[in-house]
Amino acid sequence: MEENMRQPLMAESSKQPPYSSLITYLYVGHFLARWGARMWEFSVGLYMINIWPDSLLLAAVYGAVESSSTALFGPIVGQWVDRLTYVQVLRLWLLTQNLSFMVAGCTVIALLVYSSLKLTNFTAFIALIILTNVSGAVAVLSTLAGTILIEREWVVVISNGQSQEVLTKMNTVIRRIDLICKLFAPVFTGIIISFISLKASAMTLALWNISSVCLQYWLLISVYNGIPALGESSQKRIGRLATSDSVGYPSTSQDTESLLSHEGNNSKSGEHKGKGKIVDRLLKIPYIDAWRVYLQQQDVLPGVALALLFFTVLSFGTLMTAALEWMGIPAFVIGIARGVSASVGIASTFLYPTMQSRILTIRTGLWSIWSQWIFLIPCVASIWVQNSSISAWMLMGGVAASRLGLWMFDLSVMQQMQDHVPESDRCVVGGVQNSLQSVLDLLAYIMGIIISNPKDFGQLTMLSFLAITLAAALYSIHIYRVRKHLFHFEKLFLMIRSMIGSSEE
């Protein structure tokens, strides 16, 4: 039904002004915001190791703080985005993100310049470390707010009333921008670190966020002012929230409210009424209410399947990089392999629109998740390879190839949520989705702490593969529930029969 709503209306489309230049503004603004975030994401581990040499403690603590903050406050951020106007979210997002990265960059500079601080003034050293961690966590949460605003709201509103291909194209371009930043921002930062210094890279990060915030705001506010649908959607949100607040209901979908209607039954005993009031109060707690809204969506299984993919060491992250270095793979080779992996991810953003147009969004997700699973089989096989060099190359090759399926699956799940999640729940669901992904990411770090010996990396590989297998199974169950079948076996049989008939002739 949602896809039919997106079919182009010839009478309306001819009247719509050309928004191509404004869409370009949106892409450029998104690029500037993501570039700064990716610079920090790559650099922070190097900063922490340099501040406390020969120990991964500070880097591990920062990773835990960042993942925990998103896991705990992600749903709250989603509700916060839902209850403010687009302009308010835009201003708070850009101001908070850039200010937080600027503060984090300045504290890192102080820690690097005064490297003996932990010996001369340990209290000041700990205070700067805490400030760096808090600033980084706030920056990540504000980045999440911007992601929800752009990817979950603006893209859907701008493409509404147009063909499905418009939404698909915008999704793929935005994901492509993110992957390009993920590929080239570390290269740019690495050049500064290698040929100048760590202090210069921290200063570059701070200056980038100071200088780019005004340009980001101008680009994105121009998009908001130039596309009337965004202003209309923002006003509808505020009107809806005002109505729901006056009635006394939380801002959720109609299905959520209908599930609570039975609590007013006068036939219940006093004890049941008391329990009902307690449950009702608990359900109105913002955090619990956000999770309840998420779990009631029809696309909850695809969302959980996507989150399970974060419970993995099969990516060019900290744990796998350390394992590869222990296997004797040079750092520059790991860097090249990481670049190849990112390039495969970028290629997936070109392949996804073609597949989506031919087999639709939901089946593209099925083929994507299982193709990722197939490409990771060499990683599992590498566990039993005695030659560490060959094992490492199998691991890197399998992970790099699997990015094709991973990012197409990510795009498929995101587009399904854009199509099916009610407008009143989009921001909340987006916040909970990111929170769930951070929970699984945090569990992966904990898994690495428990199984910390590089010799046992095969165990981590197997656990990661099992999580991906579970994700693929959950998505397959979702497909069967929706379509009542997984594959068109009758078409396959007809094709085989026609091939046999032609060969006999």
pTM confidence score: 0.74
- pLDDT score recorded for residue 401: 94
Q: Tokens 């009478």, residue?
A: 11
pLDDT average, residue stretch 69-91: 87
What does R_g of the chain's alpha carbons equal in angstroms?
24
| Confidence band for 395, pLDDT divided at 50, 70 and 90 | very high
The stretch 60-67 carries a mean pLDDT of: 80
**Which pLDDT score, from 0 to 100, does residue 358 have?**
87
pLDDT value of position 96: 92
Tokens of 115: 């490297």
pLDDT for 283: 56
pLDDT of amino acid 5: 43
State yes or no: pLDDT of 471 exceeds 90: yes
The more confident residue out of 283 and 215 is 215
Distance CA 396, CA 380 (A): 12
Whole-number pLDDT of residue 1: 41
pLDDT-wise least confident of 49-58, 83-92, 194-203, 367-376: 49-58
Region 68-94: what's the mean pLDDT? 88
Instruction: Indicate the residue type of 173.
Output: V
Give the Cα separation of 237 and 85 in Å (integer). 8
Instruction: Pick the range with the lowest mean pLDDT from 133-137, 247-251, 448-452, 500-504.
Output: 247-251
Output the pLDDT for position 299.
Answer: 87
| Segment 182-207, tens digit of pLDDT | 888 888 887 888 788 888 888 998 89
pLDDT band at 336 (very low <50, low <70, confident <90, very high): confident
pLDDT for the residue 254: 45
How far, in Å, CA of 291 to CA of 283, rounded?
9
Q: How far is the first Cα of the chain from the last one, in angstroms, to the nearest whole number?
A: 45
Name the least confident of 115-124, 315-324, 469-478: 315-324
Percent above pLDDT 70 for the chain: 82
Residue type, 262: H
pLDDT at residue 3 is higher than 70: no
Domains and CATH numbers, the chain: 2-6+17-241 (1.20.1250.20), 297-505 (1.20.1250.20)
Q: Are 27 and 177 in contact (CB under 8 A)?
A: yes
| Per-residue confidence (pLDDT) for residue 28, from 0 to 100 | 94
| CA gap 150, 19 in Å, rounded | 16
Could you please report the per-residue DSSP string of 420-435? HS-GGGHHHHHHHHHH
Look at residues 206, 208, 197 and name the one whose alpha carbon lies nearest to residue 47. 197
Buried b (16+ CB within 10 A) or exposed e, 482-496: eeeeeeeeeeeeeee
| 500: enclosing H helix or E strand | helix 489-504
Angle between helices 20-51 and 86-113 (to 10 degrees): 30
Look over the chain and give the mean of its residue pLDDT values, rounded to a whole number. Answer: 82
| Whole-angstrom distance, CA of residue 34 vs CA of residue 147 | 9
Count of H helices and E strands in the chain?
22, 0
**Most confident option among 148-152, 371-375, 450-454:** 371-375
Region 8-12: mean pLDDT is 38
Written as six digits, the tokens of 452 are 């910390």
The pLDDT value given to residue 308: 95
SS3 14: coil
Could you read off the pLDDT of 402-434 as tens digits, one per residue? Answer: 999 999 999 999 999 988 888 778 888 888 888
Inform me whether the pLDDT recorded for 287 exceeds 50: yes
pLDDT tier at 375, thresholds 50, 70, 90: very high
Would you state the pLDDT for residue 285?
63
